[in-house]
Every structure is written in C-alpha cells, then in structure tokens.
Amino acid sequence: MAREETRRLAPGGRLGALAPAAARLGRAAAAVTAELARRIRRYAWPSTAGRRNRAYLRDRLVAVPLLAVVAFGAFGWAYTDVRGDSAYVRDRVAPALVDLADAKASLLIAQGEAEQSLDEGRAAELGGLSERYRTRIARATQRLNQVTRGGALTVAEEQDLRVASALVVDYTGWIGRAQGHATDPVLRDAELTYARSMLCSTKATTGEGEDRYPACPPGTGPGATAIVDRVSGLEDRLRERLADRAAWGTGVITAAVVSGLAFLLLAAGLWRTVSFLRSRFRIRLSIPLAAASLPLLTLPLLTADALLSQHAQEGAVPVADALAARTSPKTESIVEERPFDGPDPGAVEVLESRIDDGLADGRLAFLDGAAPFVFPTGLACAALAGGALHGYRREYLVVTRPGAVS
C-alpha cells in the first residue's frame, strides 16, 4: 500500500499527470482572456489606421451606446445604494437610536422619582407623585411610539417594542398601587420592587445611595424580558444595522470599479469618434455626440456626494455607540436640573445634535433626488449617441458610390 501511494505521488503518477492538464487549462484561460481583452479594446478604442469608414462607424455604433449603458448603469446602482443607505440612516436609524436612548433614561429617572416620592409616605398618597415622574413616563411612552412609527424596525422588532410599551403601562399601574399603599412600608416596598424588576432583569446597584437614578446593569442576556433590557436589545440590533450600512459593500465596490473603467473607455471612445468625424468627414463638431458627453461632467460632483455620504455614515457609528453606552439617567437628570452648566458630551440631546449635523452635512443637499435619474440619463446618452452614429453611417452609405473606396 505504501508503494502504491509512492507511485501516486511520484512525478509520473496520477498527481504528476494533472500538472500538464492544469497547464493546458491555464494557457487556454489566458488565451480566452487575451482575446476578450482584444475585442473589448477594439470596440472601446479602435484604431483608425487602415480601417474603412463603414467598419469604423459600425464598431462605434455598437461600442459607444453599450459603454454608456454599462457605465451609467453600474454607477447609478452604486450611487443609489449609497444614497439610499444615507437616507435610511438619517431618517430612520439615527432618530430611532436617539428615541430609544432617551426612553431608557426617562424610565429609570421615573423609577428614581417614584421611589423618592413614595419615601414620604402619606404625603405621596395624598399629593401624588412628582411632576418629573409624570413627565418622564409620558416622554418615554412618546419616544417608544415614535420608534414604532419610524420605520427603522422589522415586523418582529416592532412587535417586541409594542410589548415593551404595554409593559410600561403595566409598570405605571404597579407604581400606582405602591402609591395607594404609601403608608404601608411592606406592601409599598414589595410593589416598588416588582415595578423595578419590570424595568431591569437584574437589580440596579448604587453606591450607598449616591445615585438616585441607577442604570440597569449590562449583560442581562438576549432572553431578558424587562422593559429596559428589551430597549437595549433593540439598540444593539439597530447599531449593528447601522454598522452594516456604513461599511463599503462588495457590490458597491465592484460596481464602482466597473463604472470607472467603463467611463474611461466611454470618454476615450467619444473623443476618438469626434476626432474621426473631423478627420474623415470634415465635421468640426458633432452636436449630438457633444450633448451625449455633457452628463460625464456631473460625475465628479456625484462621486464627491457619494463619498461624503459614506463618510458621514461611518462617522455616525461611534456616535450611535455613545448613545447606547455613555448616556445615563444620572447625566440626563443633571442636565435637566442644571441646564446652564454647558453641554454634557454624554447627554442624549448633545449626541442627537452631533449625529444629525454629521448626517446632514455629509451630503450635497441639492443632489437629493438625483440618484433615480442617473441610469435614465445614461440610456438617453446611449440613444442620442447611437442615433447620431446611425445617421452618419446611413448618410455615408447613401452618398458612397458603388465600387468607391470606403
């Protein structure tokens, strides 16, 4: 058996026999690639030396419209994808992340306010809970409803958020029960404890009462069913979605490379065609071909807009991470109590302003709505160039006498 294995691995064995076949396959692939490249070069950038006018015009009639369709089609798809991601992040994902961060902080502030008010006993039973508690509960409910209507979530995520909103209503009911038993410490504390467990799966810890508004401990797991844990899970999924949108996709890169090469060949082909018409047909300027070339002048502007949009999306990723990780109920309460101390870099309002400004400035606003017209413009250019070349060829064939050199 070892001898058979040696023969199989030897240069004259079966593995050795595969080497010439692989070499032949490689040579065949190289020959096909070379022939394909030659044909592409012939159609994209043919030489006028030794070429009949009829053959040259026929090649131009095929190559120029085809290159226009390929170039504008690939570029239009890539540009639409980048612009669509930018609009999705700006109009849906970023507002949803802001709303979720604010709702999470508002719920925890409301819990701290409820605990402080109920510590007063009969005064809370008679006078009710603080104004900040009611404001923050209403704010959290409003923010969650805005996320549901914003369009950033999937159907399953919307259902999960609706469950969280329903739990908020149930949570306020337990706080109301605790308020009704404000003079009974045992019932009050039990109901407050249950209400707190509805917010966080794990009890929030404080430094001996230093923090009136403790945040939920992280790492409660994907199976956590508490309100804040559900909100945090939605934040994580939205941030992953944002990171995916902000990254350069393989399809976009491929389309950009294809369109770049096609545009170079198209520009060179149009220039050589115009030169051919000037030298052979004495046409100083072909108006249709010049008009078909005008959209090429917009390419640097559209490319700059796409790069700005992509850069803005990448810049939104760390801000979104800060919204989920750096915002806290303690920071929000300090900002609310001391609004004139200056902006806090960890406040929801400051981070919201940063992400909104970055996404708004990360594009050329006057090009909004231009993406759907890129490919139709390419089709119009292809039709215009093809019609002009067909007209030149037909006119040449009509005026050429039979037997004359063409």
Q: What does the pLDDT profile of the chain (406 residues) look like in tens digits?
A: 555 544 444 455 554 556 676 777 777 777 777 776 766 666 555 555 555 777 778 888 888 999 999 999 999 999 999 999 999 999 999 999 999 999 999 999 999 888 888 877 655 555 668 888 999 999 999 999 999 999 999 999 999 999 999 999 999 999 988 888 878 888 888 988 899 889 887 665 544 445 677 777 764 445 567 899 899 999 999 999 999 999 998 999 999 999 999 999 899 888 888 888 888 777 888 888 999 999 999 999 999 999 999 999 999 999 999 998 888 888 888 888 787 777 788 899 999 999 999 999 888 989 998 999 999 999 999 999 988 888 777 766 655 545 544 4
**From its phi and psi, is residue 19 left (phi > 0), alpha (psi between -120 and 50) or beta?**
alpha
Alpha-carbon span 245 to 123, nearest angstrom: 52
Can you point out the beta strands (E) in 212-287?
none
Nearest to 227 by CA among 292, 278, 186, 174: 174
Q: What pLDDT, on a 0 to 100 scale, did the predictor assign at position 169?
A: 94
- φ, ψ for residue 226, nearest 5 deg: -70, 165
Q: What pLDDT, on a 0 to 100 scale, did the predictor assign at position 44?
A: 56
What b/e string do you get for 37-55 counting C-beta neighbours within 10 Å, with b at 16 or more?
Answer: eeeeeebbebeeeeeebee
User: 3-class SS at 49?
Assistant: coil
Whole-prediction pTM: 0.81
Q: What pLDDT, on a 0 to 100 scale, did the predictor assign at position 3?
A: 53
Task: Give the dihedral of Cα atoms 133, 139, 142, 143; nearest 10 deg.
Answer: -130
Q: What pLDDT, on a 0 to 100 scale, did the predictor assign at position 15?
A: 47
Alpha-carbon span 2 to 116, nearest angstrom: 84
Nearest to 101 by CA among 319, 312, 314, 344: 319
Q: Where are the chain's structural domains?
A: 52-399
